[in-house]
Amino acid sequence: ETGVTQSPTHLIKTRGQQVTLRCSSQSGHNTVSWYQQALGQGPQFIFQYYREEENGRGNFPPRFSGLQFPNYSSELNVNALELDDSALYLCASSLAGGQFKGTQYFGPGTRLTVL
Amino acid sequence: AQTVTQSQPEMSVQEAETVTLSCTYDTSESDYYLFWYKQPPSRQMILVIRQEAYKQQNATENRFSVNFQKAAKSFSLKISDSQLGDAAMYFCATLGGNKLVFGAGTILRVKS
């Protein structure tokens, strides 16, 4: 069974640029959630995708957008990067139903630095 | 709305001893789940234990167990026979609907 994978591992961008982060869900999982974790804090929910549709969104501006593909993999796009966007971005996959519904399994994260 | 509070920023335990990490939560959801995640220095978030709120029986997973007090909205994690590899940041989280809400975390240090 393949776990959640994310790419790239690290990324450095400058203010105003755009970035795309990628996530492959755990085998058999149909739901992907994205979180932002600033240093020293708990993760904050950005949004969730289920069956290629956004299925809930946290308190993040529209310049944070996403996609989910038919194979359940997902992208997080951030436009007009700001210094405060520097963080660890975590992707988590889960199943929408079954015995372990909702239990989210995390990838290793992408560390984004905005200069 | 959901909130999670971890009142212990840092805890220490001697190897082979037992330690308990505290967590309180608040949620308006009637059907929810509670979790403890571990985040070592690699920053990979690892699921430690899961509790369904409708189950009265406390969840256990090898050396890890929880004390779930639904009326008090308390969800503590007990780690028995602590090992050096248990050293990490521990996050308590609640899942209501589709999003996880995390506490601020507790750093656990294990002394040899």
Residue B102 to chain A, least CA–CA distance (Å): 6
Contacts of B100 in chain A (CB under 8 A): 33, 35, 43, 45, 92, 104
Determine the distance in angstroms separating the CA of A107 from the nearest CA of chain B, rounded to an integer: 7
A45 at B interface, C-beta within 8 A: yes
Contact flag B35-A103 (C-beta cutoff 8 Å): yes
Q: Flag if B50 and A100 touch (Cβ within 8 Å).
A: yes
- Can you count the helices (H) and strands (E) in chain A? 0, 11
Instruction: Flag whether residue B16 sits within 8 Å of chain A, measured between CB atoms.
Output: no
Q: Across the interface, do A90 and B45 touch by the CB < 8 Å criterion? A: yes
Residues in chain A with CB shorter than 8 Å from the CB of B46 are 106
Check pLDDT > 70 for residue A1: no
How far is it, in rounded angstroms, from Cα B88 to Cα B109?
7
pLDDT (mean) for A90-114 = 88
CB pairs under 8 A between A and B: 61
* Residue B10 confidence (pLDDT): 98
Cα B77 from chain centre: 5
Quick check: B23 and B5 in contact, CB under 8 A? yes
Give, as one character, the DSSP assignment of residue A25.
Answer: P
pLDDT of res. A28: 84
3 state SS for chain B: CCEEECCCCEEEEECCCCEEECCEEECCCCCEEEEEEEECCCCCCEEEEEEECCCCCCCEECCEEEEEECCCCEEEEEECCCCHHHCEEEEEEEEECCEEEECCCEEEEEEC
B/e letters for A20-42, b = 16+ CB within 10 Å, e = fewer, are: ebbbbbbeebbbbbbbbbeeeeb
Digitized pLDDT (tens) for each residue of chain B, 112 residues in all: 899 999 999 999 999 999 999 999 999 888 899 999 999 999 999 999 999 999 989 999 999 999 999 999 999 999 999 999 999 999 999 997 789 999 999 999 999 9
Q: Are A88 and B43 in contact (CB under 8 A)?
A: yes
Judged by DSSP in three states, A83 sits in helix
What share of chain A has pLDDT > 90, as a percent?
A: 83
Convert the pLDDT of each residue in A13-69 to its tens digit.
999 999 999 999 998 889 999 999 999 999 999 999 998 999 999 999 999 999 999
* Amino acid occupying residue A115: L
Q: Which residues of B touch A43 (CB under 8 A)?
A: 45, 91, 100, 102
Chain B contact for A106 (CB, 8 A cutoff): yes
Mean pLDDT for chain A overall: 93
Q: Please return the burial class of B47, using the count of CB atoms within 10 Å of its CB with bins 0-12, 13-18 and 19+.
A: middle
Rounded CA separation B20/B76 (Å): 7
Q: Please give the backbone phi and psi of residue A53, each rounded to the nearest 5 degrees, phi first.
A: -120, 145
Q: Is the pLDDT at A99 greater than 90, yes or no?
A: no
The whole-number pLDDT of residue A98 equals 67
Is the pLDDT score of A91 beyond 90? yes
CB contact under 8 A, A106 and B37: yes
Q: Which residues pair with B38 in a beta bridge?
A: B46, B90
